[in-house]
Chain A
Amino acid sequence: MTRRDRTQPGSLAEHAVTGVRYCGGCNPRYDRTALVGRLAERCPNVRFVRAESGREYDALLVVGGCCACCADISGLAGRRVVRLRRAEDLEEAAEILAAL
């Protein structure tokens, strides 16, 4: 597997890069930023950045405060797309990202 993002200026070569896109958080059922923080602790090999259009990330992490997970990800790209819709999604997301 090639990891093109890791060779781009400003990225850490030893880290997989995950672009993070949050929903707007109108009525979240859990603390979204805290859960992403816990995910980051579980995945020290992954660098989490704000997802921007125009680049492809090793993974795109879509963080929804509820099961609707309504974040707009048009224009965003990731070789894997991982979604957090509830706190229980942490384990699966950590496994996927840790394997990047």
Chain B
Amino acid sequence: MSLMTGEEYIESIRKRKMQVYLFGKKVEDPVDDPILRPSLNSVRMTYDLAQMPEYEDLMTAVSPYTGRRVNRFTHIHQSAGDLVKKVKMQRLLGQKTAACFQRCVGMDAFNAVFSTTYETDRKYATHYHENFKQFMIYCQDNDLTVDGAMTDPKGDRSKAPHEQADPDLFLRVVERRPDGIVVRGAKAHQTGALNSHEIIIMPTISMGPDDKDYAVSFAVPMDTPGIFMIIGRQSCDTRKREGSELDVGNAEFGGVEALTIFDDVFVPNERIFLNGETEFAGMMVERFAGYHRQSYGGCKVGVGDVLIGAAAVAADYNGAARASHIKDKLIEMTHLNETLYCCGIACSAEGHPTDSGNYIIDLLLANVCKQNVTRFPYEIARLAEDIAGGLMVTAPSEADLRDEKLGAYVEKYLKGVSGVSTENRLRILRLIENLTLGTAAVGYRTESLHGAGSPQAQRIMIARQGNLQHKKELAKTIAHIKE
């Protein structure tokens, strides 16, 4: 099969009979549910853009394993240039959706599992790398969306997986059979799970010998018996059920998260990529986290582009665009956003090959990138709210604007500059509201903080990778210190 069109992707997801629950009820038709559909549209954009000549250079790559053109989201990075194009692609998609487009985790899982299985096989003579390659080629050839699932619920953070009061708080193997394994547990915060054909499971932390049953990685179809998803609530989520395009801010695109449960799920041997080799759990985690911290230097920048644009439009509509402090705030937002992009590009340009041959980012720079992402989007959002003004949270609804009696008052009193309709002014303010404290704030704010690892996780890596000893030696040399 060649690259899927967006419509083919939608229909392929419709055919998967996934078990999805929302507000305590099973969703019989997730594809057409008004709360869920915007998240599907975001993934669809990864297919639509890949079909367009003006985007294909970023959106596609040639697979070295088949010689066929594939969606870059299923690609194994072959060079530092591939890593750079990944970040550029993510910025592009952030611009086109102003939301999480969800397919990055699969790409990051692909590349982390690819190299880790290679090194695991080299030590233990296992067949995980070949298992993974077969799975990867299947996904490339069928242009599948793959969720990469790492985060376990984790229970008591002071205890190792095997020490938890409930042994299922980290996903684990509960049975080993001649033909495969049975697993039980859950993965939290899974943005892409709902819209994915397949899911790759990875361990969530480094593990010791007693955590053998928890050191497991595999892939299964999302509609495998035993898997079900409970969709998380988002601020303002039920506005999508009210039928107002204006009030939701971004009517077409979004993202939702699922607590994904594995209730005794069977995994065949050929889909297992790690099974008890505990010392390689940490390698897989570190590599996935590194790639995913790089990702945020692209996707959040693209969403930031939209937010900066929205703030500038709001300033135009408010008649404040020529005020020097407004101009300066837009400069500051741009500076912060481009700094994130610099980090994403830098950690990619400094990429290097792993033993398996695929390319990995510079881990120090990727962690610096993500550390900045834990901060800058908050400041960009604050400045956007500053420029927008309080009306972004106090404006009446679209129903009021359309009301026979009230509409005239809303039009009259919420008018900005002449030549711009009140409706358009409200539209841009609702978009800013959506990104800074509505449904999209899940992705732009809190996900920027905790996604791909919370801030302290990056600081640990920065401490590890920071080469402090070298810096001390530099200082001693300059100071003519002889010890």
Chain A contacts to B: CB under 8 angstroms: 20-27, 32-33, 50, 63, 70-72
Contact = CB atoms under 8 A, between A and B. Distances in A.
Interface of B: 53-59, 85, 88-89, 91-92, 305
Nearest to A24: B58
B contacts with A: majority SS: helix
A27 B91 contact: yes
The list of the 9 closest CB pairs from A to B, nearest first, reads: A24-B58, A26-B88, A22-B54, A24-B57, A26-B92, A26-B91, A50-B53, A71-B57, A33-B54
Contacts of B305: 27
Contacts of A23: 57-58
Nearest to B54: A22
Nearest to A49: B53
Contacts of A25: 54-55, 58, 92
A25 B53 CA distance: 10
19 contacts: A20-B53, A21-B53, A21-B57, A22-B53, A22-B56, A23-B57, A23-B58, A24-B57, A24-B58, A24-B59, A24-B89, A24-B92, A25-B58, A25-B92, A26-B58, A26-B88, A27-B88, A70-B57, A72-B57
Nearest to B72: A24
A25 to B, nearest CB: 6
A22 B91 contact: no
Contacts of A71: 57
B53 A24 contact: no
Nearest to B87: A26
Contacts of B57: 21-24, 70-72
B54 A32 contact: yes
Given A23-B58, A24-B57, A50-B53, 17 more contacts: A22-B54, A22-B55, A22-B57, A24-B56, A24-B58, A24-B85, A24-B88, A24-B89, A25-B58, A25-B92, A26-B92, A27-B88, A27-B91, A32-B54, A70-B85, A70-B88, A72-B57
A63 to B, nearest CB: 8
A62 to B, nearest CB: 10
A23 B91 CA distance: 14
